[in-house]
A and B are shown apart, each in its own frame.
Chain A
């Protein structure tokens, strides 16, 4: 009896492992991709409900704790808002003047790209894949491979790109994901390279294939190069934390710490349309 149940267990194990292995082996086929999308469309409402319930409890206790600070913060925020409104007005004036001058000398001015604001509602439940789920999908005009940015500490920075879209949700692959590749360049020297994610090994990214002649220092800013056609040019990615230059070879590498803090990410901006590119943004007047 015990022997037969052991055989049964082994047969069940073999069948389950075979099914898993088959899924892994055929992961890039259309059938499997479609199956994943459908399965996720079914699972998402449950995940969203569960996550929202837990977030509700968390927010409830947080609001009790923060209640006494709210009045003071509100007054300070109102003051700050008035200041920002004044600054915004001045900025609009300067921008108009800038456009007028650029038109005078015949150079096309930089236009903004259209974005959709999305709220971060969940993330992948494992440390291996740190994908982010947002509450905007096809219904909001989101498509696969659209670039995603966020504003943190007053700066616009790269978050990642959309890799999967459902009707009311989308999944974002962060820029430090192992499967992510991005055209990048050093902001000051303009040397370009290929940015590769290293998660879960490291939270930093690796900037590869930088020309050996590039003079790179700790703290140098890295921005998108616009190559690859996904991200517009000039969006902040992060800062250099270390440089690796071998004694041979024509390239060097740098470790880049992403500017975006994924732990504090609450809202993202999905770029739905790039109106135009500014090919002359690096000309200084």
Chain B
């Protein structure tokens, strides 16, 4: 339960931060890292697919409401991310920086692909593939590089809370 609360707090901070104009200041070529995705993935990686997918769904739902866009879009995407990463976390031995970098890179690309597919169905016909542009790879690199730092911070805080 304590671990869940720690993750909720981190996710809430990430959502608030990404809602501020301060978030634009850290972007490169209009692309900024997705802290919400990183934290959801770290949470799923540490807790497993059950908690991961529920956390992903709730986070995505909140993001959908705050974005004002299609309700269910990010809920759907983050649920899949949470489940997938949770499964990987169960099977991978050891949790080090290289794994998180690789995972977050792949997850960002996967997120773009899922959003692209859903956009083609529900938003604009022919939109498929639009997300798979250069900007996505820049975001994937940013997410990958930031993930070890956040992973270290979250695991340290978790350990303290558990103790």
Q: Enumerate chain A interface residues (CB-CB to B < 8 A).
A: 5, 8-9, 12-13, 16-17, 19-25, 27, 32, 35-36, 39-40, 43, 47, 50-51, 53-55, 58, 120, 122-129, 131, 133, 163-164, 171, 173, 178-179, 200-201, 203, 262-263, 265-266
> In whole Å, how far is B112's beta carbon from the nearest beta carbon of chain A?
10
One of B15, B54, B139 near A16 (C-beta < 8 A): B54
Residue from the list A22, A53, A120 in contact with B21, Cβ < 8 A: A120
B147 within 8 A of partner (CB): no
Chain A residue at minimum C-beta to C-beta distance from B87: A9
Whether A23 contacts B75 by the Cβ 8 Å rule is yes
B73 at the interface (CB under 8 A from A): yes
Chain A residues near B65 (CB-CB < 8 A) = 36, 39-40, 43
Asked whether any CB of chain A lies closer than 8 Å to the CB of B71, the reply is yes
Query: B122 touching A58 by the CB < 8 A rule?
Result: no
Instruction: List B residues 69-124 near A (Cβ within 8 Å).
Output: 69-76, 79-80, 83, 86, 115, 118, 122-124
Assembled-state Cα–Cα distance A133/B65 (Å)? 12
Is the contact region of chain B dominated by helix, strand, or loop, or is it mixed? helix
Query: Beyond A13-B83, A20-B75, A24-B118, is A129–B68 a contact (Cβ under 8 Å)?
Result: yes
Report if B135 contacts A (CB, 8 A).
yes
Q: Cα distance A13–B60 when bound, in Å? A: 14
B18 at the interface (CB under 8 A from A): yes
B59 smallest CB distance to A (angstroms): 10
* 21 pairs, CB–CB < 8 Å, chain A vs chain B: A16-B54, A16-B75, A20-B72, A20-B73, A20-B75, A23-B72, A24-B73, A27-B70, A27-B71, A43-B65, A47-B15, A47-B19, A50-B12, A50-B19, A54-B17, A125-B23, A125-B36, A125-B66, A171-B68, A179-B123, A203-B30
Q: A21 near B72 (CB under 8 angstroms)?
A: yes
Task: List 8 other contacts, CB 8 Å, given A20-B72, A120-B21, A125-B23.
Answer: A13-B53, A13-B79, A43-B62, A47-B19, A51-B19, A127-B139, A131-B67, A201-B133
Is the CB–CB distance between A122 and B75 below 8 Å? Answer: no
Seen from chain B, the residues whose Cβ lies within 8 Å of a Cβ on chain A are 12-25, 30-32, 34, 36, 49-50, 53-54, 57, 60, 62-76, 79-80, 83, 86, 115, 118, 122-124, 130-131, 133, 135, 139
Contact B69 A129 (CB under 8 A): yes
Kindly provide the distance from the CB of A53 to the nearest chain B CB, expressed in whole angstroms. 8
Q: Contacts of A39 on B, CB cut-off 8 Å? A: 65
Asked whether B57 lies within 8 Å of A16 as measured between CB atoms, the reply is yes
For A127, what are the chain B residues with a Cβ–Cβ distance below 8 Å?
31-32, 34, 139
A21→B72 CA distance, assembly (Å):
6
- In the complex, the answer to whether B21 meets A263 with C-beta atoms within 8 Å is yes
